[in-house]
């Protein structure tokens, strides 16, 4: 890849992740774990964007990745999303990594790693497992600081405060 191509790709990638971050912020404001994702087609256009909706929809499968895969496939009128890239603020879980393979996503780019549930690098490597019939290219760490800070802020404010013992 030439230098200007690398630069153009970086700008495009940061733009997509910035949009995913906006979705994550909106989800967090609605009481959801702040995770957002976007789907980018082969031409570089964002064709779907969503934040986590698990709480609002009472749906354990309503992760941002699942929502953008559904929206993108419906929009393209196709069951597969070959040539599309998925950007997500948090490393995908096993369910979403499985769906990414089913959708034939070309590349998954995530922000923060998830040492507790990540299935692209941290706990499993489902998205590019050579035993499966499709492998998505995986890149982690794009805007990882911003993506991770959003999550840690969210969990800090939700964690119950420790009771202060005034009398012993």
Per CB under 5 A, residues contacting Zn ion are: 63, 93, 95-96
CB nearer to Zn ion: pick between 16 and 66: 66
CB nearer to Zn ion: pick between 86 and 106: 86
CB nearer to Zn ion: pick between 53 and 63: 63
Q: Least CB distance from residue 131 to Zn ion, whole Å?
A: 21
Q: Least CB distance from residue 34 to Zn ion, whole Å?
A: 14
Query: How far apart are the C-alpha atoms of 88 and 23, rounded to whole Å?
Result: 10
CB nearer to Zn ion: pick between 16 and 120: 120
Structure-token match 């769906």, residue found: 99
Active-site residue, 65 included: yes
Q: What is the distance in angstroms between the CA of the first residue and the CA of the last residue of the chain?
A: 67
Q: Least CB distance from residue 3 to Zn ion, whole Å?
A: 35
Among residues 23, 32, 65, 91, the one annotated as catalytic is 65
Q: Which distant-in-sequence residues (6+ apart) come within 8 Å of 156 by Cβ?
A: none
Q: Least CB distance from residue 5 to Zn ion, whole Å?
A: 31
- Residues marked as catalytic: 65
């Amino acid at each position: 890849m030439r230098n200007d191509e690398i630069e153009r790709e970086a700008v495009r990638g940061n733009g997509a992740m910035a949009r995913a971050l906006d979705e994550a912020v909106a989800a967090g404001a609605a009481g959801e774990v702040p995770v957002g994702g976007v789907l980018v087609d082969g031409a570089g256009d964002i064709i779907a964007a969503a934040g986590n909706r698990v709480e609002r929809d009472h749906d354990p499968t309503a992760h941002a990745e699942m929502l953008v895969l559904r929206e993108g496939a419906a929009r393209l009128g196709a069951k597969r999303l070959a040539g599309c890239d998925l950007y997500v603020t948090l490393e995908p879980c096993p369910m979403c990594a499985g769906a990414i393979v089913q959708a034939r996503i070309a590349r998954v780019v995530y922000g923060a790693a998830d040492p507790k549930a990540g299935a692209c690098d941290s706990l499993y490597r489902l998205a590019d497992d050579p035993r499966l019939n499709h492998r998505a290219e995986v890149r982690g760490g794009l805007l990882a600081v911003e993506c991770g800070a959003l999550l840690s802020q969210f969990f800090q404010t939700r964690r119950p405060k420790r009771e202060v013992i005034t009398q012993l």
